[in-house]
């Protein structure tokens, strides 16, 4: 067998090119593997505050206890004073330190400065002297000390009346409240209460006198 020198040079160049190509591909493969390993070990962010057990927070306005919040899970991330809790159970206190209302929900948000409390997911709020409120979400703002929602709401008043509608605003003690739109309701003893209200509007001398109380004339008396 005879190999011409020109053909050998061509074959030799092809072999060199293939060797260089395999080396480059090997280096690229090694580089990707190292990058993947570096990425896998890259440190991840963690909350600056994390409690996964029963936690109770007392929130004050000056020296006065304002809210007492209880939860089973709490977290706060760096760069923000917002706290996430799940679920949320809260007692709300009045200016005299008496418990004014109770709130519970699936989860909530509040901040360290106590300028707002947001509850969402099967929200239930109750005041011993006011109303029982059910909603998808409720928001309390410190700036006006009001509780509000733009969504659907159902309220049971102190007398047992049931009202529902869209949108709600109330003081934090749930004593003075109103539903904003699309209001429907069920009123307890409506007829009796209307009669009582009407009777207050009729002057005493205009009311009908029962037969037994009518004065008897002298002729009829004889």
Show me where the domains of the chain are located.
Answer: 49-186
- The 3-class SS string of 149-169 reads EEEEEEEECCCCCEEEEEEEE
**Distances 155 to 21, 152, 160, 185, 187 between C-alpha atoms, Å:** 76, 10, 9, 9, 12
Task: Tell me yes or no: is domain 49-186 CATH 2.60.450.10.
Answer: yes
The two three-digit tokens of residue 27, written as one number: 């280096």
From CA 174, how far away is CA 7, in angstroms rounded?
Answer: 98
Structure tokens at 79: 């760069």
Return the pLDDT at 18. 62
- The alpha carbon of residue 148 and the mean position of all alpha carbons in its chain are separated, in whole angstroms, by 11
Tens place of pLDDT per residue across the chain (222 aa) = 443 444 445 455 555 666 666 666 666 555 555 455 555 556 667 788 899 999 998 888 788 888 899 999 999 988 888 999 999 999 988 888 888 899 999 999 998 888 899 999 999 999 877 789 999 999 999 899 899 999 999 999 888 889 999 999 999 888 889 999 999 998 877 556 556 555 666 555 555 555 555 555 555 555
Alpha-carbon span 89 to 119, nearest angstrom: 10
- pTM beyond 0.85: the answer is no
Helix H or strand E encompassing 32: helix 5-40
| Inter-CA distances, 3 with 6, 8, 10, 15, 113, Å | 8, 7, 11, 16, 89
How many residues are given for the chain? Answer: 222
Taking the C-alpha atoms of residue 26 and residue 81, their distance in angstroms, rounded to an integer, is: 50
């Amino acid at each position: 067998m005879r190999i011409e020198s020109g053909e050998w040079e061509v074959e030799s160049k092809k072999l060199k090119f293939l060797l260089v190509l395999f080396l480059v591909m090997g280096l690229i493969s090694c580089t990707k593997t190292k990058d993947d390993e570096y990425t896998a070990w890259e440190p991840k962010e963690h909350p600056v505050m994390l409690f996964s057990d029963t936690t109770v927070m007392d929130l004050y306005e000056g020296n006065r206890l304002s809210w007492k919040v209880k939860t089973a899970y709490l977290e706060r991330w760096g760069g923000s004073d917002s706290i996430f809790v799940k679920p949320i159970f809260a007692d709300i206190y009045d200016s005299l330190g008496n418990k004014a209302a109770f709130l519970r929900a699936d989860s909530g948000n509040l901040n360290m400065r106590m300028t707002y409390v947001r509850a969402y997911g099967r929200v239930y709020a109750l005041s011993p002297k006011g109303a029982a409120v059910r909603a998808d979400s409720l928001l309390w703002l410190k700036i006006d000390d009001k509780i509000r929602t733009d969504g659907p709401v159902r309220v049971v008043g102190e007398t047992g009346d049931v009202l529902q509608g869209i949108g709600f605003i109330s003081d934090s003690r749930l004593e003075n409240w109103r539903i904003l739109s699309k209001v429907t309701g069920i009123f307890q003893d409506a007829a009796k209460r209307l009669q009582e209200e009407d009777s207050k509007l009729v002057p005493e001398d205009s009311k009908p006198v029962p037969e037994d109380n009518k004065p008897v004339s002298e002729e009829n008396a004889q």
